[in-house]
């Protein structure tokens, strides 16, 4: 009988399952703890995201994780983090995925300073490209935010953490029945906040909000508590990005405004449509 693994007690160099050598802890979130490992069989680094015990003991959550995996594994694209497998290691559950040395998109917007427009435009196009592939695989992200967008020193962008994603076909906002609103209020589409059906255009809204933040340095709604921010999204009375940064080119401002429409029928219908509109922007 192998004792249950306690990942909080792992020491660097320790090997799990005769295969994964522990290098370091990268982070911890609501769902899991992210560890960098050396896969000794194929001799390369990868990430193991160990589910927190409260998650793995919650059947609803486990269903969601397996769900995430099933759909995310279909996505292979340079702008999306590659998911490999679902593992059961010494009594713990983990997801293995590609290791991508990088920082989050938030690191590109330090001190609320706007980003160079050409850079913001390229990142926006990369997000649209990666998400287009995800949407074609039937995956809606539902939690796009700067913390889930990774960028390396060469400027390669990858979207990570389809943790709240569900198959597009099911369409319902996951877990409202257990009382969670899943997602980050600062970047969340109004219809998702209201617990309505969510489709690809919810991700388009979130990309719009991220674009707004890249070109102004601040998210459109960030004053007050979670509830207040949610209410502001539903109201949709954000200042135009040119009011905050007069240098934003008019056609870029238009693309951002359209992506952020409260009425989802007024947004771009697909990520490809958003990409095309971004390609037409003259800086």
State the catalytic residues: 143
H or E segment and range at residue 72: helix 59-72
Q: How do beta strands 32-39 and 15-16 pair? A: unpaired
Residue 170 neighbours by CB under 8 Å, 6+ apart = none
Please give the Cα distance from 59 to 64 (Å, whole number).
Answer: 9
Dihedral angle computed from the Cα positions of residues 47, 73, 5 and 23, in that order, rounded to the nearest 10 degrees: -10
Please give the Cα distance from 168 to 61 (Å, whole number).
Answer: 18
- Backbone region of residue 164 per phi and psi (left: phi > 0; alpha: psi in -120 to 50; beta: other values): alpha
DSSP string of 211-246, one letter each residue = HHHHHHSS-S--SS-HHHHHHHHHHT-PPPHHHH-T
> Which is nearest to 275 in space by CA: 118, 124, 78, 81?
124
**CB 246 within 8 Å of CB 96:** no
């Amino acid at each position: 009988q192998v004792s249950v693994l306690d990942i909080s007690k792992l020491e660097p160099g320790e090997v799990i399952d005769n295969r994964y050598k522990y290098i370091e802890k990268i982070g911890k979130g609501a769902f899991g703890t992210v560890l960098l490992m050396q896969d000794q069989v194929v001799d390369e680094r990868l990430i193991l995201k160990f589910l927190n015990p409260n998650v793995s003991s919650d059947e609803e959550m486990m269903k969601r994780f397996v769900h995430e995996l099933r759909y995310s594994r279909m996505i292979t694209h340079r702008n999306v983090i590659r998911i490999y497998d679902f593992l059961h290691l010494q009594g713990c559950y983990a997801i293995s995925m590609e290791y991508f040395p990088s920082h989050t998109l938030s690191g590109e917007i330090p001190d609320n300073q706007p980003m160079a427009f050409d850079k913001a435009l390229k990142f926006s196009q990369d997000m649209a490209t990666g998400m287009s592939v995800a949407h074609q695989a039937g995956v809606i992200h539902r939690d796009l935010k700067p913390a889930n967008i990774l960028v390396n020193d060469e400027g390669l962008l990858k979207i990570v953490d389809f943790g709240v994603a569900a198959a597009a076909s099911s369409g319902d906002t996951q877990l409202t029945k257990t009382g969670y609103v899943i997602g980050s209020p600062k970047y969340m589409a109004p219809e998702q906040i209201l617990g309505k059906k969510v489709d690809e255009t919810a991700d388009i809204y979130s990309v719009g909000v991220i674009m707004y933040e890249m070109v102004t340095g601040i998210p459109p709604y960030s004053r007050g508590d979670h509830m207040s921010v949610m209410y502001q999204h539903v109201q949709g009375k954000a200042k135009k990005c040119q009011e905050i940064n007069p240098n934003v080119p008019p056609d870029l401002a238009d693309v951002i405004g359209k992506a952020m429409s409260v009425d989802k029928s007024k947004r771009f219908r697909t990520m490809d449509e958003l990409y095309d509109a971004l390609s037409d922007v003259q800086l």
